[in-house]
């Protein structure tokens, strides 16, 4: 008969639970931590000083004019988030098939970058380099009239000028997100030729043709028009099935002069982040995209997940996979939590 009053201890040398017994010991042995310095807050911007407009598919996220942008960046800076990524929403009346407004001297986005840098010289400005905010078809480049596909080299030519204009306006980092072949080298060459040798390039080196970009396209207004054919970016964005191809793209961008390599999306591609981290000595960034953010928010609002715990676990996983830098719409909220301790 078993004596339930006494259970002899097991003969164990290793008891891993000893390092989990209290909050203090768990903190002491924690291997991965999130810091505000790790985070970049993406911000959707619109023309003029007007009021904020909520993005319906992204709870808590707004499009802001200049006044709202200044207020947001001031709050982020006070919380320790010292880098923002800017994405413009362009009036449909200014769009065309070639995205010509992107490099127009009248493009208000250049003035906004210039004023933001003047107001917050110590905040890093990451400027998106892509044509989808400017094209009426929503693709990331100029369409070849014969093939109907995005014309690679012509698009690269436009992107190089756009990146240089952003550098002139004060962007610290230009971030080509288009996935055209050869654009990193072309942009690096033009930036250097024009005297912007200290402007960094954050390459969207590994950007997959993901189903998780929908809320972002709503936010910047690059979703297809009702008259346009369905957007299919699989001729330039990566097949989600391919990791060897992803590593090749990362290697090409590094060879062409990228300063930081990014994987996008993040949470679904932790294996890719880890593989890129192992293959390069450059800093590795990862973008927790709009669909990932919306998923967590929706589940939390339905009462199925604890918002803060799910948010932090997702970001820790991205950091643990090897990302040095994380672009996340949760950056401000996480920094607020870290500030509170």
The token pair that represents 256 in the structure block? 């062409």
- What is the separation of C-alpha 331 from the centre of its chain, rounded to a whole number of angstroms? 11
Q: Which residues contact 123 (CB under 8 A, 6 or more apart)?
A: 73, 76, 77, 82, 83, 84, 116
Contact 76, 125 (CB under 8 A): no
- Rounded-to-integer distance, Cα 214 and Cα 290, Å: 7
Active-site residue identified among 95, 233, 264, 332: 264
Is residue 264 flagged as an active site residue? yes
The crossing angle, in degrees rounded to 10, of helices 307-321 and 331-340 is 100
Contact 109, 99 (CB under 8 A): no
Q: What residue has token string 């199925």?
A: 304
Is residue 207 flagged as an active site residue? yes
Q: Which residue pairs, CB below 8 angstroms and at least 24 apart, start in 16-19? A: none
The per-residue b/e assignment along 144-154, b for 16 or more CB within 10 angstroms, e otherwise, is eeeeeebbbee
Pairing outcome for strands 173-176 and 325-328: unpaired
- At 54 the three-state DSSP class reads strand
Pairing outcome for strands 62-64 and 284-288: unpaired
- At 297 the three-state DSSP class reads helix
Active-site residue identified among 46, 95, 207, 332: 207
The token pair that represents 131 in the structure block? 């044509």
Q: Which residues are catalytic?
A: 207, 264
């Amino acid at each position: 008969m078993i004596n339930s009053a006494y259970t002899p201890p097991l003969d164990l040398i290793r008891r891993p639970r000893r390092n989990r017994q209290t909050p203090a010991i768990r903190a002491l042995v924690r291997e991965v931590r999130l810091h505000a310095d790790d985070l970049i807050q993406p911000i959707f911007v619109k023309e003029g000083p007007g009021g904020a407009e909520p993005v319906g598919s992204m709870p808590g996220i707004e499009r802001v004019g200049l006044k709202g942008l200044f207020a947001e960046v001031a709050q982020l800076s006070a919380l320790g988030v010292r880098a923002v990524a800017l994405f413009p929403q362009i009036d449909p009346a200014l769009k065309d098939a070639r995205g010509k407004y992107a490099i127009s001297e009248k493009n208000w986005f250049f003035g906004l970058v210039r004023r933001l840098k003047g107001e917050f010289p110590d905040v890093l400005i990451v400027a998106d380099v892509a044509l989808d905010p400017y094209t009426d078809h929503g693709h990331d480049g100029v369409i070849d009239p014969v093939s109907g596909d995005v014309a690679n080299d012509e698009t690269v030519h436009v992107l190089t000028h756009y990146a240089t204009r952003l550098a002139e306006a004060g962007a610290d980092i230009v971030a080509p997100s288009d996935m055209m072949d050869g654009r990193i080298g072309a942009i690096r060459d033009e930036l250097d030729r024009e005297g912007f040798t200290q402007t960094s390039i954050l390459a969207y080196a590994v950007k997959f043709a993901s189903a998780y970009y929908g809320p972002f396209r709503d936010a910047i207004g690059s979703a297809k028009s009702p008259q346009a054919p369905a957007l299919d970016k699989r001729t330039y964005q990566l097949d989600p099935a391919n990791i060897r191809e992803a590593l090749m793209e990362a290697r090409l961008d590094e060879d062409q002069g990228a300063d930081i390599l990014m994987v996008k999306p993040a949470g679904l591609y932790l294996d890719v982040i880890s593989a890129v981290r192992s293959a390069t000595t450059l800093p590795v960034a990862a973008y927790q995209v709009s669909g990932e953010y919306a998923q967590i928010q929706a589940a939390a609002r339905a009462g199925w997940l604890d918002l803060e715990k799910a948010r932090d676990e997702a970001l820790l996983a991205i950091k643990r996979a090897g990302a040095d830098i994380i672009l996340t719409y949760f950056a401000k909220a996480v920094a607020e939590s870290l500030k509170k301790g």
